Structure 1
């Protein structure tokens, strides 16, 4: 069966009526009021057209929906905010978890319990009131569940603490048999290993419990330089960041900012190179470490400052409203001088690219170390993440893909063998073995066979059940 199987017979009205009567949430069909809102995704170049969308109120609702889908031989896709969508879900049942967004903070235990529909801004805000911080992503509108299940590269605290998946204490998940399971390192350890890194392949996560950290403030922000200084800034950054402590998380981005009102006026329509900074230490140490970067050239804009953790989304200052784009990423195993020269050639001032952004994140530190409880995150030990983003409508799809491909193909001599699943495009969904590597993929496939033998959860970067 394909990723978007529209050949299935229609679901009978009486079956839909029975499901509607069984759950507290909403059942939405094409043409129903609310269907279009529920299927909307963050990337305007993607579209979901499922046979049915269910907006559950509880884990019990999700159990009923999964059993319904199994009985009607339908694939299931889970949607929170829709930042990463694979396929159009034709013929599928989509579970939109947006109403299940409860966030409970345990200040004494330094942990959060978060519903499947929560987004990072909701967690950051509540944790900050207790002087705590999660391993959140760069964009506040990203769903906590999908981000964490894919690994989670926190651009604020990740270098000192590792992947977000490394700090999950437990998960509640509805598996393909409709059972609600509480999964942790002691109960069903194989499933616990697979869920943390295996993305959406093993069930519908209804809630997560994970660590929080006593970080009320950061020294962070971004220094924007004229794009003509890309070579100077990149080479200096590449020499500088390996000598910083693990409390310093940093990335560099070459950006061709669109001339639209959503962009800060001083940056609007400009060609820029930006160094992002997040330092969990004193202001004095932060200023001392950042001083060599500030001395490189006059800044177009410098936002690096002492800030309450609740303001960390301003470091990357990413769009928070839907837009049309195409993005794809690879991991790099090294960044020697030749690789730096090539990146400058590909995105610097003499490049012909129309990419909105090429971002290079420096990893290392705890990202490279095995966590106390191992998981399926496959990119551990790779020191850089490279992401290309092209913006434009679907009518420009071939050009958008070509621009991203030129960047990533150009950097392929330094590419790592494994890939970070959260930075993959939909058209990479058929090659999960390359994402995880042979050993990890073999174990994932065996666990998939035990918990999802019919591959109900296949509208993703899919791990096939072992034969």
Structure 2
């Protein structure tokens, strides 16, 4: 690890302009790692996974080590630059114009220890961890899309297909290695910098750029999981059955239900292409025979188009949700629900079910509770653990529906408003701003995150879409 002596801040410039002197300094400190718009590497590094998010950084640092991240942050101090961070770009937000973007995709260390834990660099995706863990009968608390980066997902809590059984990904973290906004590489655990450890479990990039994470894995070799797919015409029967069925599930089960419209394109099964379907996702961590019995009422709700529930291994976890892998232009909204009465299901069907002419690709409800509802003993920055469900709406910003997606997404939110809490989870609906912060964190958590950021990033060098908005002290 690099020196823990903080740098001296000189001549900070709140305009965050990449001057010729600043560019020369960066290139001297990071030979070969500084990428500008005329570099052939620019598109791959500056373009986020969500192609609808505008991304216009002044330059990109293609970091190859934690020391490169330190050097980038310290150079930003010297020249008054703001710093943002990205790896896969799944959680990209707007508002990074003129920032120095630190890209951590090359920090690809991935080590699984057979006794039940792993270390992953900031460039590692969950699929790599799942594949390395499987030979040891272990699995990680990955998300619905294992192609998402481990670090960004985990610092936002991390709600995946195993969540009701094992908790959020952040609940399983042992340690972070993080370059804080003052340009120092630190190790944060329950015992070392515990305030920073608290903030990084749910607070996203409030005070630092995580370069590696160490986390517990779960002893789970093979498990029952997958999705049942039904015709959209059966949406009412399926959703109402799912509502009552899921209410009685034990923690061994994690489930969600989604109204899905997939285009006719390569990779989309013919029975699902170009039509409204309903997907019931299900993972069972107990005895598979018990899981089959538990699933029987959903199999009987209607005749499935596809029954994809079977014994899985960790590397197959992504098949449960079958999220897209390739970059797309998408718009997403999210809410939390306190309950899901029959009236709420009817309201959802009216606005997004058969005959609604919904332009959305996915309208999903995920059941929470179980281990998700229990905060770790040492605390964290994940609020709203008492919510019962998440509501997520995702639309593709492509012709002919691009102009319809946003207004319709708000219509879905409005229809479910009587049952929403007003909150959201940090990883959902990537968008910056104070309103989003107020929804993701309660007043006490926001104040504590801001205090941690003031301590470790006193000059507000870091610019993360979820970090508390603070004014540089010049």
Do both proteins adopt the same fold according to a TM-score greater than 0.5, normalized to the shorter chain? yes
1:258-317 Cα offsets, whole Å, 9 max, x none, are: 222242222111210110011112221111111111111111111001122211111111
Out of 207, 218, 233, the residue aligned to residue 212 of structure 2 is 207
2:135 is the alignment partner of 1:135: no
Superposition deviation, residue 24 in structure 1: 6.0
The partner residue of 2:109 within 102, 108, 113 is 102
Secondary structure in 1 matching 2:60: strand
Q: Deviations over 1:342-361 (max 9, x none)?
A: 11112111313111110100
Q: Which moved more, 1:259-268 or 1:310-319?
A: 259-268
What SS does the corresponding residue of 1:129 show, helix, strand or coil?
Answer: helix
* Whole-angstrom distance in 2 between the partners of 1:39 and 1:221: 34
Cα deviations by residue, 1:355-381 (Å, 9 ceiling, x for unpaired): 111010001011111213210001211
CA distance in 1, matches of 2:242, 2:17: 57
Contact 1:390 1:403 in 2 (8 A): no
Contact between 2:22 and 2:79, CA under 8 Å: does it hold in 1? no
- Equivalent of 1:55, from 36, 46, 62? 62
Contact 1:170 1:208 in 2 (8 A): yes
- Give the superposed CA RMSD: 1.9
* Mapped partners of 1:425, 1:247: distance in 2: 30
CA–CA distance in structure 1, aligned partners of residues 428 and 23 of structure 2: 36
Measured against aligned partners, the alpha-carbon deviations of 1:24-77 in whole angstroms (never above 9, x if no partner) come to 661101111211111121112123221110011111110000011121111111
Tell me the matched-pair count: 460
Question: Residue 312 of structure 1 aligns to a residue in which SS?
Answer: helix
TM-score (normalised: structure 2): 0.93
Match for residue 123 of structure 2 among 114, 117, 120 = 117
Pairwise mapping of residues 242-253 of structure 1 onto structure 2 (< 5 A)? 242-253=247-258
- Separation in structure 2 between the aligned mates of residue 427 and residue 256 of structure 1, nearest angstrom: 28
Query: Which consecutive aligned stretches of 4+ in structure 1 deviate over 4 angstroms post-superposition?
Result: 5-8, 394-398, 427-430
CA distance in 2, matches of 1:329, 1:438: 20
* Number of the residue aligned with 1:153: 159
**Where does residue 11 of structure 1 map in the other structure?**
19
Cα distance between partner residues in 1 of 2:14 and 2:456: 25
Distance 1:268 1:396 in 2: 17
Q: Paired residue for 1:301?
A: 306
Residues 330 and 428 (structure 1), Cα distance of their counterparts in 2 relative to 1, 3 Å cut: farther
* Aligned-pair CA distance for 1:428: 5.0
Alpha-carbon spacing, 1:15–1:6, altered in 2? closer, same or farther (3 Å): closer
Aligned to 1:71: 78
Contact kept in structure 1, 2:204 and 2:467, CA below 8 Å: no
Instruction: Please give the secondary structure, in 2, of the residue aligned with 1:208.
Output: strand
Once the two structures are overlaid, the 10-residue window that deviates more, 277-286 or 173-182, is 277-286
Counterpart secondary structure, 2:178: strand
Distance 1:10 1:71 in 2: 11
Structure 2 partner of 1:286: 291
Out of 88-97 and 419-428, give the one that drifted further: 419-428
| Contact 2:81 2:100 (C-alpha < 8 Å) held by counterparts | yes
CA–CA separation in structure 2 for the residues paired with 1:427 and 1:79: 15
Encode CA deviations 1:227-273: one digit per residue, 9 max, x unaligned: 11111111111111121221111000011222222422221112101
1:254/1:103 Cα in 2 relative to 1: closer, same or farther (>3 Å)? same
1:232 and 2:240 correspond: no
CA contact (8 A) 1:140 1:320 kept: no
| Whole-Å separation in 2 of the counterparts to 1:6 and 1:459 | 16
C-alpha distance in structure 1 between counterparts of 2:110 and 2:89, whole Å: 20
Q: Measure how far apart 1:455 and its partner are.
A: 2.4
| Counterpart mapping for 1:408-419 below 5 A | 408-419=413-424
Report the counterpart of residue 21 of structure 1 in structure 2.
28
CA distance in 1, matches of 2:178, 2:290: 43
In the alignment, structure 1 segments of 5+ residues that lack a partner are none
Could you say if the C-alpha distance between residues 350 and 46 of structure 1 is closer, same or farther in structure 2, counting changes exceeding 3 Å? same
1:8 to partner: Cα distance: 4.3
1:46 aligned partner = 53
Q: Partner residue of 1:81?
A: 88
Point out where structure 2 has 5 or more consecutive residues left out of the alignment: 1-12
